[in-house]
């Protein structure tokens, strides 16, 4: 086992992502100790039972004492309150990062509470499932997935490299981006697909009041795959849309234009246009498979994806 990269890692929030980190940190010996915080006694008990942390605390402030790496793993909407609580207890030299699905908002919510000498380096592992809670976590979640780091101008390159080394040790490939660019890219690759899934399942549910049994019975025709995404955690996704409003609205505008294009082609019976669009989209899936981000397995009941 390699020498630990950090003396003590504090996981603030021990759900799917926090517990997956706990598993991989302990399995690969990436920290001397792992401390954790979860708000409910149930999650704290489960985290100890699953052995994803060495110690668990009732407050985030207690969990960060002595930590040289702090990872915020709560929903994005909780970041400001957590940062205000832990800020005064952070020792100089500590790296503070997060796993939130939105990045510009981390800078505005967390940076004002960071004392001088603490290195804030926002991050996002593009790895997840529709499950939540500590029992959903597993050590391989980050394997062969991208982790995007969005350091602010002026951050010490040595600290950025230390955090990148941590994510590589978790199995991820590391990429660097500006926070606003991250939010635009993820709006189209993750946030809008979730919005579409929430919407289509909601529409079908309205229809289902008329034809309930048919919606379930014939769900394998495509609907079932949307229900997997639409089963994702409501708190997490509420926070993503509230905190990535501008990029989501920008991409939603483009999406609506393209939907109108499809609508027009169907109304006009423009088969060439439909065939052209569908051929192009098929090639995009092939490129995702070639890039190792998906398999050709025909069943959509996959165990992990990106969020
Ligand atoms: P999760 O399984 O629902 O876990 C959330 C954790 O945060 C739980 O420990 C929960 O505590 C705690 N928490 C919830 N609300 C809180 C609050 N207001 N204050 C303090 N703690 C709170 O969520 P997750 O899927 O791990 O997501 C965590 C973060 O990872 C989010 O920021 C999300 O954007 C990001 N992310 C998620 C995915 C994904 O696919 N799920 C992928 C990449 C990144 P209790 O259990 O005690 O309530």
DSSP string, 286-302: HHHHHTTSS---S----
Q: pLDDT at position 299, please? A: 55
Q: pLDDT at position 292, please? A: 85
Residues 6+ apart with CB under 8 A from 93: 68, 117, 118, 119
Q: What are phi and psi of 53, to 5 degrees?
A: -135, 155
Q: pLDDT at position 222, please? A: 85
What letter does residue 191 receive in the DSSP assignment? I
Closest C-alpha to ligand 1, atom 7: 74
Closest C-alpha to ligand 1, atom 13: 74
Q: For residue 129, how far is its CA from the centre of ligand 1 (angstroms)? A: 12
Q: For residue 88, how far is its CA from the centre of ligand 1 (angstroms)? A: 23
* Best CA proximity match to 171, nearest among 146, 143, 198: 143
Q: pLDDT at position 21, please? A: 98
Q: pLDDT at position 215, please? A: 81
Pocket test for ligand 1, best of 11, 13, 183 (most atoms within 8 A of CB): 13
Closest C-alpha to ligand 1, atom 18: 78
Q: pLDDT at position 270, please? A: 98
* The pair of three-digit structure tokens given for residue 269, joined into one six-digit string: 């019976």
For residues 104 and 75, is the Cβ–Cβ distance under 8 A? no
For residues 177 and 147, is the Cβ–Cβ distance under 8 A? no
Cα 107 from Cα 91, distance rounded (Å): 19
Cα 82 from Cα 102, distance rounded (Å): 16
Kindly report the number of other CB atoms within 10 A of residue 182's CB atom: 25
Farthest CA pair distance, the chain: 67
Kindly report the number of other CB atoms within 10 A of residue 86's CB atom: 28
For residues 132 and 16, is the Cβ–Cβ distance under 8 A? yes
What letter does residue 4 receive in the DSSP assignment? P
Shortest-distance atom of ligand 1 to CA 101 = 34
For 53-70, b where at least 16 C-beta lie within 10 A, e where not — what string? bbebbeebbebbeebbbb
Q: For residue 82, how far is its CA from the centre of ligand 1 (angstroms)? A: 13
Q: For ligand 1, which residues put their CB under 6 angstroms from it?
A: 13-18, 38-40, 43, 73-76, 78, 99-101, 125, 128-129, 132-133, 233, 236, 240, 307
Pocket test for ligand 1, best of 10, 63, 74 (most atoms within 8 A of CB): 74
Kindly report the number of other CB atoms within 10 A of residue 16's CB atom: 26
Domains and CATH numbers, the chain: 6-177 (3.40.50.720), 181-290 (1.10.3660.10)
Q: What is the pLDDT along the chain (307 residues), one digit of tens a residue?
A: 568 999 999 999 999 999 999 999 999 999 999 999 999 999 999 999 999 999 999 999 999 999 999 999 999 999 999 999 999 999 999 999 999 999 999 999 999 999 999 999 999 999 999 899 999 999 999 999 999 999 999 999 999 999 999 999 999 999 999 999 999 999 999 999 999 999 999 888 887 666 677 888 888 888 888 999 999 999 999 999 999 999 999 999 999 999 999 999 999 999 999 999 999 999 988 888 888 888 877 654 444 445 6
Quickly tell me which residue has 């639409």 as its tokens.
Answer: 230
């Amino acid at each position: 086992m390699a020498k630990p990269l950090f003396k003590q890692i504090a996981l603030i929030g021990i759900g799917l992502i926090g517990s997956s980190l706990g598993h991989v940190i302990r399995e690969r010996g990436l920290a001397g100790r792992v401390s954790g915080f979860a708000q409910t006694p149930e999650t704290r008990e489960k985290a100890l039972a699953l052995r994803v942390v060495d110690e668990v605390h009732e407050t985030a402030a207690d969990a960060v004492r002595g930590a040289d790496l702090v990872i915020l793993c709560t929903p994005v909407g909780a970041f400001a309150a957590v940062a205000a609580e832990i800020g005064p207890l952070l020792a100089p030299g500590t790296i503070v990062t997060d796993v939130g699905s939105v990045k510009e908002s981390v800078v505005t919510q967390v940076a004002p509470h960071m004392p001088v000498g603490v290195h804030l380096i926002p991050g996002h592992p593009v790895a997840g499932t529709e499950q939540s809670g500590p029992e959903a976590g597993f050590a391989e979640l980050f394997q062969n997935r991208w982790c995007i780091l969005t350091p602010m101008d002026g951050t010490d390159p040595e600290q950025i490299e230390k955090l990148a080394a941590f994510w590589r040790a978790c199995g991820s490939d590391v990429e660097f981006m500006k926070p606003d660019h991250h939010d635009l890219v993820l709006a189209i690759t993750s946030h809008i697909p979730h919005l579409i899934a929430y919407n289509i399942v909601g529409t079908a549910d309205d229809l289902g009041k008329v034809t309930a049994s048919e919606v379930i019975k014939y769900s394998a025709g495509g609907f079932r795959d949307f229900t997997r995404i639409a089963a994702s955690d409501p708190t997490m996704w509420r926070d993503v849309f509230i905190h990535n409003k501008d990029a989501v609205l920008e991409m939603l505008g483009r999406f609506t234009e393209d939907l109108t294009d499809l609508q027009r082609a169907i109304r006009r019976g423009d088969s060439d246009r439909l065939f052209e669009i569908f051929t192009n989209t098929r090639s995009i899936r092939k490129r995702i498979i070639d890039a190792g981000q998906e398999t050709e397995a025909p069943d959509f009941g996959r165990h992990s994806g990106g969020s």
